[in-house]
A and B are shown apart, each in its own frame.
Chain A
């Protein structure tokens, strides 16, 4: 029966605990990193750490790593369209000052 397939993807408890521990460490790291003075790189670092955490949650807690191609495409589609919303909106905001007097 094909429910066998699904039962094969029982992830070891150790993996879950390992992911949990990694997430906790990354949380501590993100708080620590916020006290460093890196100028514009602070936000980049914060988002990179958040994305690593998020990826771990999605891949392992939400089983995306073991899921069908369709599910993976669904997640990528969501992220892509969110990216479109943010990026295309910013084409307006980032370029508003370009034609005007540099002082604004």
Chain B
């Protein structure tokens, strides 16, 4: 631990190591690459948020009077593409995973640092293609690019946007590949699989999905682009093709993709619940196994997005049954987090508030997913706002809250600064209230029959829509405040010290911010994961302090 004497000398950290732009743009340091990703995805988050704002403004009134139908199609398309491919999928892995995983396994970097940097550049190229397509007139196919509209009938910049998604997919693949090799091959001495933090298990499971699923959507998007360019008929019924084949290939990735998004978030929650209840996660092995199960089972359910598309009813039955199963490991995790809280010594710091929000909202979102697995219910509510509410509950109420939780939890480690706790708690409250006000009415709207992707609706739906837009405004404030106080903390925040939360984990045993090479000497791990009972002994054993 840095003593008072050492603190007077400016300690080398990964931030002050070299201040030139070139040292940042050509860095191979996983921590700097995490910061690069943080900046990029924050920009894309606000791009997606901008489109959401326009959507909610349009939906204040029943008439389609703010924008034309075609423009509205572009709005929800670009909202979806920005948020899913350029914010949610990279969020926890590329920012928090990149930063924390080498630290958590006691390594100096990921297995392939140059590949990691390449991944960021590839992401940026993909994002550029997508942004240029959006600025140049937009895309209106929906983020799902259904054929034959996307291949034949749409008059918008489909190829540009599709290429943007295609290219950024490789960024995802390379990140996942890097994580898998790192976790297998670069764990510190004594760090067995069963001592690994659950954050690593979750990112590992998400990485498996990334490497197995992303290539399939990549080839599918390529075929869409080829079909659009060359007028071949692979997905066009007028030329003998089957539009459902596109949907099978698309959803083979895009369903597991939702688990790519949520699993790392669940990993964050595991870390936070353990730290702020000061207890080992209940049923550690089951939570780890549940992560892997979600990854595998997630590949077996994709056609539940196609129940009303025209697939055979026998296939629908198979996929409906499998979809029920995939809920089980998620439920196991929720029960285990809850059990961890029982008789824990709970602190209500901001990360924990977000974690509480996650557990409740993810449960609601997940359960409504189970409703959708039922064929009968699905026929009634598919393509309505019920589905929109369901996935926003898991993606925003779940995943975005988990990302915020993780940002707050590891911000002191990443920057060496503490954010202002009062403002942070206020923002968490605004996010929670704003989110529920935005999306709960949408469950009711959907059940009552309001279709999704429509900008005009019957007047009896207006009250709930106004409520939803009001909620979105509150939510927006909750998102903007952290931007401000995080930036503020960089200059004016209190120094964090190596372990402001008194958490267990290798990343907390190195200074904040960490030195470029992470640890003075390779740590040797002799304690179990989340061993809060024996914490003082670990501090002595850890090397380099």
Contacts and interface: CB of A to CB of B under 8 A. Distances in A.
B409 to A, nearest CB: 32
A84 B300 contact: yes
Interface stretch (B69-77, B83-91, B165-173, B313-321): B313-321
B315 A95 contact: yes
A9 interface: no
Contacts of B312: 91-93, 95-96, 98-99
A84 B256 CA distance: 13
B544 to A, nearest CB: 26
B299 A81 contact: yes
A77 interface: yes
Contacts of B208: 77
A84 B299 contact: yes
Contacts of A3: none
A99 B319 CA distance: 18
A34 B526 CA distance: 62
Interface in B292-323: 299-300, 302-303, 311-315, 318-319
A99 B313 contact: yes
Nearest to B184: A70
A88 B216 contact: no
A70 B208 CA distance: 14
Contacts of A78: 212
Contact of A85 (B184, B252, B315, B318): B252
A81 B212 contact: yes
B248 interface: yes
Given A85-B216, A85-B252, A95 B299 contact: no
A89 interface: yes
A92 B212 contact: no
B315 A91 contact: yes
B346 interface: no
Contacts of B15: none
A88 B300 contact: yes
A98 B311 CA distance: 12
B244 interface: yes
A88 B322 CA distance: 11
Contacts of A70: 184
B184 A92 contact: no
Given A70-B184, A81-B212, A85-B252, A92 B311 contact: yes
Interface size class of A (residues with CB under 8 A): 10 to 19
A91 B252 contact: no
Given A70-B184, A81-B212, A98 B300 contact: no
B303 A92 contact: yes
B98 to A, nearest CB: 23
A92 B248 contact: yes
Contacts of B216: 85
Interface string A46-90: 000000000000000000000000100000011001001100110
A39 B244 CA distance: 29
Contacts of B252: 85, 89
Contacts of A84: 299-300
Interface in B314-372: 314-315, 318-319
From B245, B302, B315, residue with most partner A Cβ within 10 Å = B315
Interface string B241-267: 000110010001000000000000000
Contacts of B318: 88, 91
B208 to A, nearest CB: 8
B303 A98 contact: no
A78 B299 CA distance: 13
Nearest to B303: A92
A78 B302 CA distance: 18
The 6 closest A-B pairs by CB, nearest first: A92-B315, A95-B314, A95-B312, A96-B312, A91-B315, A92-B311
12 contacts: A78-B212, A81-B299, A84-B300, A85-B216, A88-B315, A91-B314, A91-B315, A91-B318, A92-B248, A92-B315, A95-B315, A96-B312
Interface of B: 184, 208, 212, 216, 244-245, 248, 252, 299-300, 302-303, 311-315, 318-319
Given A91-B315, A96-B312, 15 more contacts: A70-B184, A81-B299, A84-B300, A85-B216, A88-B300, A88-B302, A89-B248, A89-B252, A91-B318, A92-B303, A92-B311, A92-B315, A95-B314, A95-B315, A98-B314
